[in-house]
Amino acid sequence: MKIISDSTRVNYGELLKRPANNNPELRTRVQEIIEMVKTDGDKAIKLLTRKFDGIDIDHLEVDEQAIIDSQDLVDAKQKGAIWQAAKNIEKFHRAQKAKNIEVETMPGVSCKLIYRPLKRVGLYVPGGTAPLISTVLMLGIPAKIAECNEIVVCTPPPINLDILYACGLIGARVFTVGGAQAIAAMAMGTESIPKVDKIFGPGNSYVTEAKIQLASQGVPIDIPAGPSELLVIADETGIPSFIAADLLSQAEHGTDSQVVMISTSQIIITETINEINRMVNLLPRKAIAMDALSNSLAIKVDSIDRAIEISNLYAPEHLILAVNNADKYIGSVENVGSVFMGNYSPESAGDYASGTNHTLPTSGFARNWSGVTLSSFLKTITVQEINEEGIEMLGETIMALAKAEKLDAHAAAVRVRLNYLKELEL
């Protein structure tokens, strides 16, 4: 990790800049995949699966019996872990259920806000070397609580048994398709894969690019996605081995992952780097973590307030406050996906089982985007009901504004009602 000292001369906008993803070839290839799926549907999916996954598939949808059978094929200890995580995720997201709102804004004028679930949602779940079982739970459980009618999961073949078991818990339909072609299939629909109302889930650069391209065509997605990020703020009470383990937990995601440490203590920085150098040699994904760490930073600052100021500028996906009295500083935290308070709150707890959602904004989008919550699976509808008294009281205001905007028909829609009421009074 590169160590720098904070000063007014440091340009953090440049220093903490995310890797640019300016790959015209990738954009073109994803565009071609989307067009293939749009034109040839299931046929294109099977061709692309053979090309990218090296697997021939006859039926895209996993048989329901295979999902049931997975219950007996998953290790009991693993099932227990999945159940515990699911229980916590459900508890936290069920608490987010919103109540409909009704307000009388003035006599005779009633306004309501009511919630409706999305009918069909599509969840993309990466497989391969890092099968994200937790993503099934993080997205499928709030979809169930929101009472979405149908949950569609796409995941690359061969399907991981733990993923299949988790899909059974959320009652999902499962399709053996991965990559950009999976996103295209859920966005547009094929003979086998139904078109969904909104697409959720992380993925590689092809998946991310497909989501971006289809979002530009009007297909709703959860949030803009990018490489994983972690920023740790530590004072002299930070524990170097904890901090090192947390930084490595994100660095092992991918070579483009970003980890940053900011501390008021040079001793903590030095000891943390020593721990990183020791621990990284024990990781199966050492090469990946080392690549990520080569672009990582440790910043020495004079105060925690200054550290938070830098963090708000960076807007990380994850922020750990490894400081004394972390509650004292949470009010100053503005731009972040999820915060982990104190030395005993590892970022991996949020990734798996604390109950909060791990689908979070990256690449600085935490400045203006939120992570996935129960509301991500809902839409709102406003309702207004105005009676005779209400239209008489509000009518002149409406007509004045309509006249100012030179929209005479808008005004006439009120005037005809007011005239009608006057005639009734005669």
Cα separation, 215 vs 329, in Å, equals 36
364: left (phi over 0), alpha (psi -120 to 50) or beta: left
| The residue type at 208 | T
Which of 262, 248, 253 shows the shortest CA–CA distance to 228? 253
**Among the residues of 41-178, which ranges form H helices?**
42-53, 64-73, 76-94, 133-145, 161-170
Residue with tokens 């938070």: 308
CA-nearest of 58, 36, 49, 34 to 156 is 49
Tokens matching residue 192: 């086998």
Which of 231, 258, 240 has the alpha carbon at shortest distance from 321?
Answer: 231
> Strands 150-155 and 173-176: what pairing?
parallel
Cα→Cα distances 219→31, 156, 195, Å? 15, 22, 10
Alpha helices (runs of H) in 216-299, residue ranges in sequence order: 240-251, 266-279, 286-293
What is the Cα–Cα distance from 139 to 376, expressed in whole angstroms? 10
Q: Which of 318, 347, 389, 425 is catalytic?
A: 318
Catalytic-residue membership of 317: yes
Mark whether 59 is an active-site residue. Answer: no
Give the whole-angstrom CA distance, residue 90 versus residue 351: 14
Beta strands at 229-234 and 258-263: parallel, antiparallel or unpaired? parallel
Do 410 and 398 form a contact (C-beta atoms < 8 A)?
Answer: yes
CA distance 403 to 216: 36
Q: Which of 229, 252, 317, 347 is catalytic?
A: 317
Active site positions, annotated: 317-318
